[in-house]
């Protein structure tokens, strides 16, 4: 269970001042979709959960682990938070092979999510010896998802993971994302500005606007 109840105040944000209040609980195996216009704070929210930014107030908890508590002055750094973060552009290491990218950051301890299973589910076995420059956009994102999973996260965060792909490639990658959510049962936050895309993967959808998260009801 991911529990988030935070306030973010950024008076000097790049586009315009940002005041955001996000409150939700996300059980294991569920995917929460978050939509919103550019500059509404979607990425800021994900980065706050991942520990890349510090909220102004509130609490972030994953199960029994406290990641952030403003009143108790708790702020776990990113490397102490078991978060799988998938960026818009994959951010693979260009000098490494696909397999080396997948293994990067894997813990030495006994893993719950193992490499052969990830390779099988994402259908990336033929890509293992290639470099990122030899991959299509959809293949890069599948590898990026695999690398995030192999970090053994308790939460999966996906920040516009398909934004750089054309419609055909999006339809190729979306089933893999749905399969990952179903197979590994991680609480998943999926951010996108494309309504159809979010609706296809998310169990429920929230709109981020005017600093507030509001559930979208069909």
- Provide the residue ranges of all domains of the chain, joining segments of one domain with +: 2-216
What's the token pair of residue 210? Answer: 């005017």
| Residue-level pLDDT at 210 | 83
Please tell me the predicted confidence (pLDDT) of residue 110. 75
Please give the pLDDT value at position 14: 56
What is the chain's mean pLDDT, rounded?
90
Confidence tier at 120 by pLDDT (50, 70, 90) = very high
The CA distance from 39 to 176, in Å, is: 28
Rounded Cα distance between 2 and 23, Å, is 11
- pLDDT bin (cut points 50, 70, 90) of residue 218 is low
Confidence band of 151 (pLDDT split at 50, 70, 90): very high
pLDDT tops 80 at residue 10 = no
Tell me the sheet residues that pair with 4: 24, 60
Residue with the two structure tokens 């996108």: 192
Q: Is the pLDDT of residue 111 over 70?
A: yes
pLDDT reported for residue 172: 86
Q: Class assignment of domain 2-216?
A: alpha beta
């Amino acid at each position: 269970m991911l529990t988030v109840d935070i306030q973010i105040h950024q008076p000097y944000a790049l586009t315009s001042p940002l005041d955001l209040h996000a409150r939700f609980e996300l059980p294991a195996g569920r995917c929460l979709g978050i939509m919103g216009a550019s500059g509404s704070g979607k990425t800021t929210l994900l980065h706050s959960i991942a520990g890349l930014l510090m909220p102004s107030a509130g609490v972030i908890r994953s199960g029994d682990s406290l990641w952030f508590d403003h009143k108790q002055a708790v702020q776990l750094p990113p490397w102490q938070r078991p978060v799988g973060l998938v960026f818009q552009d994959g951010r693979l290491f260009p000098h490494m092979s696909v397999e080396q990218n997948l293994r990067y950051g894997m813990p030495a301890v006994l893993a719950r999510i193992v490499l052969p299973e990830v390779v099988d589910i994402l259908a990336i076995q033929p890509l293992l010896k290639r470099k990122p420059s030899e991959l299509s956009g959809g293949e890069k994102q599948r590898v990026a998802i695999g690398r995030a999973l192999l970090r053994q996260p308790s939460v999966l965060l996906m920040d516009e993971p398909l934004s750089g792909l054309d419609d055909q490639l999006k339809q190729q990658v979306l089933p893999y994302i749905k399969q990952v959510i179903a197979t590994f049962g991680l609480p998943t936050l999926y951010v996108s500005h494309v309504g159809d895309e979010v609706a296809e993967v998310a169990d429920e959808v929230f709109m981020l606007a005017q600093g507030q998260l509001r559930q979208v009801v069909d």
